[in-house]
Amino acid sequence: MNNLTTENVEEIKKGYITGFYDAEGSISITKDYTLSVLINQTYKPVLERIDKEFKTVSGIKIHSKEGYDKRGIHHKNAWMWRQFADDAIPFLKYIYTYSIEKRLQIELGIKYQESIKLTYARSKGMSQSEVEKREWFKNKIEELKHITPTEQELKSYNNEIKKLSISKDVRDGKQKVIFGTVDDLYKNLGINTTEQETINKQLIPKMSNYIEIGYLAGFYDGEGYVGISKGKRDSYSLSVEIANTNFDMLKIYETKFGGKIRLIKKEEEHYKEKYHWDITNHNALPFLKYIQPFTIVKRQQIDLAIEFQEWHNQVKIIKTPEQKKKAEWYYNTLKDMKQETGEEISNNKYDENTNETESNPLDKYMNILQW
C-alpha cells in the first residue's frame, strides 16, 4: 500500500469520509426548515481534515466541553463540523454514492434541498402545501433515525406521501400547484418510481478495493472499539467490536474478516435493533492490519493493539513477573488512550530494558494519507 497513486489516495479518502460520516454524521431539517448536516467527534484533527476538503462558513465549533454528566460519566471535549442548506449539497453528493447506513437520509436531504430552491423566488411566504411538503421530509428523515424500514415499508413511500393534504388556496386555484399528487411530487423531485435504485430501495453499493478499505477504516474510526480485557489468573485478551443498527453493514465485516454478529437488547422500545460485530485475540490481527494505515481517530490504539497481540502470540501464556508487568502496561496504556482528548496524544512504547516507557516521534503514528 506504500505505492499508492494519487487516484488511489482519492478513492481511499472518499471511502473514509463516507464511512466516517455513516458512523458519526447526522442530517436533519430544522424548525425553520433549513437542511442541516453535521459530524460530532472528540478528536478534532479528523474534522479539520474533512473541513479542509469542504470548507464552509460554519466550520468547526465546540459542541460540548469536557466534564461529567448527571450520571457521573466523564465526557471529553466534543467538536462539531456543520453545514447548512445549499452549502451541504456538495458534501452530501460526495458521500451519497457509497453511503450505506445513511444513504436514504442523504437522498432525502438532497431531494429536499433541490425541491425548495425556487420556492423563495416564486413567493414571499410559504403556502400550506409547501409547509406540508417540508414537514413530510423533516418527519421522514427523523423516522429513519429511529426505525429500520422493512422492504415493504420502503416501497410504501409513494403511498405515504398521499397523506399530504392539498391546502384550500391550491384547491381554489389561487396559487400555482407545487405538487398535487404523488406522481407530481416525485416528478418535481426527479425520482423515477419505476426503477429500483431510487428512494424506494436501499442498496449496498459496489465499491472498488480502495474505496472499500477507506470506508471500512472510516466507519470503524467512528463506531469501532478496541480494548484489552483482564481476566482471572492474569489472563489478557484483545477485543475488537463495532456496534450499529445496520445488520447488513456489519455483515460486510463478518464476511471479510470472520468474527460474529450478535443482537443487543434495545434500551428503549422505539429504538432500532442494535447489533455488535466482535472479533478477538489473534483472529483480530488481519482486520486491524488491514485498516491500520488508513485510520485517523483510533490509529494509536490500533498500533498498540497489534503490538500487544503479536507479543502475546509469541509468549502464548503470560506467566513470568516480567510478562505480567508488560501485559499490565499494555492494558493500562490502551485504556488511558481512550481518556485523552486528542489535542495532545501520548506516544509511548514499552522499554524492555528499563520496564519504563520511552517517547517515540509522533510521525510514526501518522497515517500514510496526508490529506
pLDDT tens, position by position, 99-125: 988 988 998 899 899 888 655 434 456
Q: How many other CB atoms are found less than 10 A from the CB of residue 253? A: 22
Q: Where are the domains of the chain?
A: 6-189, 223-365
Q: What is the pLDDT of residue 199?
A: 32
Q: What is the pLDDT of residue 156?
A: 52
Q: What is the pLDDT of residue 182?
A: 39
pLDDT tens-digit readout, 10-22: 999 999 999 999 9
Mean pLDDT over 192-196 rounds to 43
- Model confidence at 67, pLDDT cuts 50, 70, 90, reads low
- Model confidence at 369, pLDDT cuts 50, 70, 90, reads low
Name the average pLDDT for the chain: 77
Contacts of 220 (CB under 8 A, 6+ apart): 19, 23, 242, 291, 295, 298
Mean pLDDT over 34-47 rounds to 93
Q: What is the pLDDT of residue 62?
A: 75
**Chain centre to alpha carbon of residue 220:** 8
8 A C-beta contact, residue 223 and residue 23: yes
pLDDT tens-digit readout, 348-367: 566 665 555 443 333 333 44
Range with lowest mean pLDDT among 33-42, 295-304, 316-325, 349-358: 349-358
223-365 folds as Endonuclease I-creI (3.10.28)
Domains 6-189 and 223-365 share a fold: yes
Q: What is the pLDDT of residue 352?
A: 64
8 A C-beta contact, residue 242 and residue 252: no
Q: What is the pLDDT of residue 129?
A: 81
**Chain centre to alpha carbon of residue 198:** 22
Contacts of 47 (CB under 8 A, 6+ apart): 39, 41, 60, 79, 80, 81
pLDDT tens-digit readout, 284-296: 999 999 999 999 9
Q: Is 70 exceeded by the pLDDT of residue 55?
A: yes
- Quote the CA–CA distance of 183 and 133 in Å, as a whole number: 14
User: Could you tell me the three cell numbers for 211?
Assistant: 474505496
Q: Is 90 exceeded by the pLDDT of residue 63?
A: no
6-189 folds as Endonuclease I-creI (3.10.28)
- Quote the CA–CA distance of 311 and 308 in Å, as a whole number: 5
pTM of the model: 0.78
